[in-house]
Structure 1
Amino acid sequence: MLKRVAVVGAGAAGLCAARHILSRPNSFAPPVVFELTDKVGGTWCYDERVGTYDNGRPVHSSMYRDLRTNLPKEVMMFPDFPFDPQLSSFLPHQEVQKYLESYCQSHHIRPHIRFSTVVENVKPVVMTTEDEEERTTWEVTSSDSSGCQKTETFDSVFVCSGHYSDPHIPDIPGMENFKGQVLHSHSYRYAEPFSGQSVVVLGAKASGLDISIELAKVGAKVTLSHRRPRLTLPLPSGIQQSSAVVAVEDDGRLRFQDGSVSEADILMFCTGYNFRYPFLDGDQLGLKIQNNVVSPLYRFLLPPTFPSLFFIGICKIICPFPNFNCQVQFALAVLDGSVTLPSQAKMADEVRQELQEKVARGVEQRHLLIMDQDQWEYCQTLAHTAGFPLLPPVVRSLYEEVAQQRQIHPQNYRRLNYRVISETEWELVQKQVYTVTQSPQDATQHREVNLHQLH
């Protein structure tokens, strides 16, 4: 009997899930992909609208007009589907959107997508079979654009709805006293309206830094406010750094952690996003769904109590498309029986132990799903367990090279262009070859990279 899989979301993760399900016609029926909007691409779909759509639902995408990728296409791509080699390494969002549309078309996914359809509820139904085994199916209730509601049964659900759509706004005492405009980067689209204004940007991760640089270019006076150690990378002259905003005074001025106060026209939160799954009942699933953590998830993928529910792409600071590709293939191997999971108790123990180790290392609760350096071993473990090809070492080495360039040249690193020569080599367009010798760490000693064009 072919397994039926529901996929929630037609962004990169959902398309990847659909592509791999369709490639296994002997094990799986064609998927049903539920998509909130009328396009594929998820967060890569640029939409000038902010707030809500015409149907009253919140605008999903957080894409801004001039965003370019902070990873090169050579690292971003699905391993079996390269970008057009003629494109530069760092792409405007429109090119990533086109790539996802092309991926969708090449793998004949579109006929299986229900556009403008909202998933209202996903509920497990546990039955006992004749031989006394428990079997879980999933009731998925959705409604289309006409409001017509439908409930269907599936063997598995892949949650691919992303986590860049529900803005996280930290609680700052006295916020009601602020007299200027308050917004989150989720509602930022372009810099021109902020020209000549004083803007305090809260948060100095990727979006905070990029948006600050965009604002400075149009003549905004930017204060980059954050909790991290002072950034040592070179910033444009229009940006000054400050400690975190801790309160708003009665007169509307902002008070910073170092005791200083300042006025501002705009307060922009670049403070990340919450995990939000309105269609899931966390208590029923044995899951704690909080702002920054969904737990327990075995291998960051599935709740031990319901191992046919998969969250794809929940981790942060990763190579997203390669990561989704590994997670999807592991999940399908679980479903088709080629990977046998440990017992529920053992999975729960493993998750608990993993989180305790992170906390013991000083990782804060809100950073528990950040992978960064752990992503390589994670993907390797999934590949070894499920028997699919490992990510080539060149992905890691190029990822780490770009991370270094981002620190040295935050405004200009995107001018570089790379080319992958083999599974272990990449080069700059100047044809200077970089070979991975034993491991990416060892290889950094052998770099010969000419970066003169950045100065």
Structure 2
Amino acid sequence: MMKTIGIIGAGAAGLCGARHALAAAGMTPIVWEQSTKVGGTWVYTPELGKDKYGLPIHSSMYKNLKTNLPKETMAFPDFPFPDGEESFIHHTEVLKYLESYCDHFNIKPYIKFRHHVQEVSPVMKEESPPAWNVTVKDLETNVSSTTTCDALLICNGHYSIPRIPHIRNIDCFKGRKIHSHDYREPFLYKDDTVVILGAASSGLDICLEISGVARKVFLSHNQPVNHPSDFPANVEQVRGVVEATENGFNLMDGSHIEADVIMFCTGYEFSFPFLTKDCGITVEDNVVKPLYKHLIHSAYPSMAFIGIPFLVCPFPLFDFQVQFFLKFVGDLISLPSKMEMDEQTQKELEEKCGTGKPLKYFHKFGPIQWVYNNDLAALSGIPPLPPVVEKIYETVSDCRRAHLMEYKASCYKILGPDKFSRLK
């Protein structure tokens, strides 16, 4: 019997899910996408707030963004980026790549554009796992309908709901407050003094861009040591913000800075507003529960969440996650019992966070992504990534830390399974 694979979202993860469902025997995907095109977070729009249907703007893409990973590490394993002189490419090139991926694997006929997912609930069956009722609204006709799916891939993206930390007396600050989700262009900050709160990828990137027009940029963070790279002359690293005043902020070390703007580069929340309580999914301190291998709902394993891990090469990770899940759905591999899956997850949580590390970093991968990918590949019976991808990734990480202002000028070329060259 043909199985219907529901997929929420037509970004990179959703496209990957549809591509592999189409390739699997006995599966048909149906993809719901509330915008008019594929690409998810890679679809740039100058709009802020809500769209014409009253739905929040999904994308956090800003106009001048270039990738902070080289395209040589970003590609899906079976679909390389086109050759080119640049490794760190403009976001429009990534969108073109995803559109080409969609066309190459003939995914578009299976996508329902302008369809907003309203509700997902389990349909309990005598056998396990359950099916899923997915209720969606056609935004053009305003008509809702429900589809029953044998399995469900949650691919709604995790870079659209801003996380804003609590700061004492923040309402007293008379300047502008903005989250990086709503950042589009630097000219709005001309001659301003700007506090960038957060020194992860978006904070560092936006800090450099704004420094070209701002009078002064304070890069505020609580990392144990300052970022070791050189910065523009008008950028100063300072401790984290603890309290706001009318014209500035008090910092963790007791010092005070004055500013016109504070920009929260403080990340995003995992959010699944369409899941009913019966779905049994919770998000606590940035940990999505109960997920086996950061992926499969351990109580209802016909549901999977693609792309929960962060600080990764996302497209390859999506590919391994999708294939592992679909091998299970297709009865080609089996999973441990719920008790065993939950025990493994709890053990991993204790190993990662039991030494005082905050729970919010449980899904943060970095160096462990390679072991994770290889594990999923081995369990799925598919080839792992060639070692060269990890080698380039680690080289770029070192260059980014030491030479933040110049590292994107380098060009990488893969020469073999474990060899690459670097120019500049």
**2:115 — aligned with what?**
117
CA distance in 1, matches of 2:235, 2:55: 35
Contact conserved, 1:122 with 1:139, CA < 8 A, in 2? yes
Kindly state the Cα deviation for residue 291 of structure 1 after the two structures are TM-superposed: 5.4
**1:253 — aligned with what?**
248
**1:398 — aligned with what?**
392
**2:240 — aligned with what?**
244
Q: 2:156 aligns with which of 130, 137, 161?
A: 161
Unmatched runs of 5 consecutive residues or more in structure 1: 430-452
Of Structure 1 and Structure 2, which has the larger fraction of its residues in strand?
A: 2
Question: Which TM-score applies when normalising by structure 2?
Answer: 0.98
Match for 1:418: what amino acid?
Answer: Y
Q: Deviations over 1:180-199 (max 9, x none)?
A: 11000000001011010000
**1:213 — aligned with what?**
208
CA distance in 2, matches of 1:18, 1:222: 43
Match for 1:28: what amino acid?
Answer: M
Match for 2:56: what amino acid?
Answer: P
Spell out the pairing of 1:222-241 with structure 2 (5 A cutoff): 222-228=217-223, 229-241=225-237
Q: What is the root-mean-square deviation in Å for CA atoms of aligned residues? A: 1.1
Kindly state the Cα deviation for residue 358 of structure 1 after the two structures are TM-superposed: 1.1
**1:174 — aligned with what?**
169
Contact conserved, 1:383 with 1:389, CA < 8 A, in 2? yes
1:415 aligns with 2:409: yes
Larger CA deviation: 354-363 vs 33-42: 354-363
Contact conserved, 1:7 with 1:33, CA < 8 A, in 2? yes
Spell out the pairing of 1:45-56 with structure 2 (5 A cutoff): 45-56=43-54
Contact conserved, 1:285 with 1:303, CA < 8 A, in 2? no
**1:443 — aligned with what?**
none
Aligned residues: 422
**1:196 — aligned with what?**
191
> SS in structure 2 opposite 1:255?
strand
Contact conserved, 2:248 with 2:260, CA < 8 A, in 1? no
**2:6 — aligned with what?**
6
CA distance in 1, matches of 2:129, 2:258: 60
Contact conserved, 1:9 with 1:42, CA < 8 A, in 2? yes
**2:418 — aligned with what?**
424
Match for 1:406: what amino acid?
Answer: R
Match for 1:402: what amino acid?
Answer: V
CA distance in 2, matches of 1:242, 1:225: 5
Question: Which TM-score applies when normalising by structure 1?
Answer: 0.91
Q: Deviations over 1:419-449 (max 9, x none)?
A: 11111111124xxxxxxxxxxxxxxxxxxxx
Kindly state the Cα deviation for residue 88 of structure 1 after the two structures are TM-superposed: 1.1
Contact conserved, 1:275 with 1:290, CA < 8 A, in 2? no
Q: Deviations over 1:343-365 (max 9, x none)?
A: 11111111111111111233211
Distance 1:360 1:290, change over 3 A: closer
Kindly state the Cα deviation for residue 220 of structure 1 after the two structures are TM-superposed: 3.5
CA distance in 1, matches of 2:40, 2:215: 30
CA distance in 2, matches of 1:392, 1:6: 31
Q: Percent identity?
A: 43
Match for 2:27: what amino acid?
Answer: F
1:381 aligns with 2:380: no
Q: Deviations over 1:124-180 (max 9, x none)?
A: 11121xxxx345110000001121100010000100011000000011110110001
Kindly state the Cα deviation for residue 252 of structure 1 after the two structures are TM-superposed: 4.1
**2:27 — aligned with what?**
28
Spell out the pairing of 1:11-410 with structure 2 (5 A cutoff): 11-24=11-24, 26-29=25-28, 31-128=29-126, 133-145=127-139, 146-228=141-223, 229-249=225-245, 251-281=246-276, 283-290=277-284, 292-410=286-404
Contact conserved, 1:296 with 1:352, CA < 8 A, in 2? no
Unmatched runs of 5 consecutive residues or more in structure 2: none
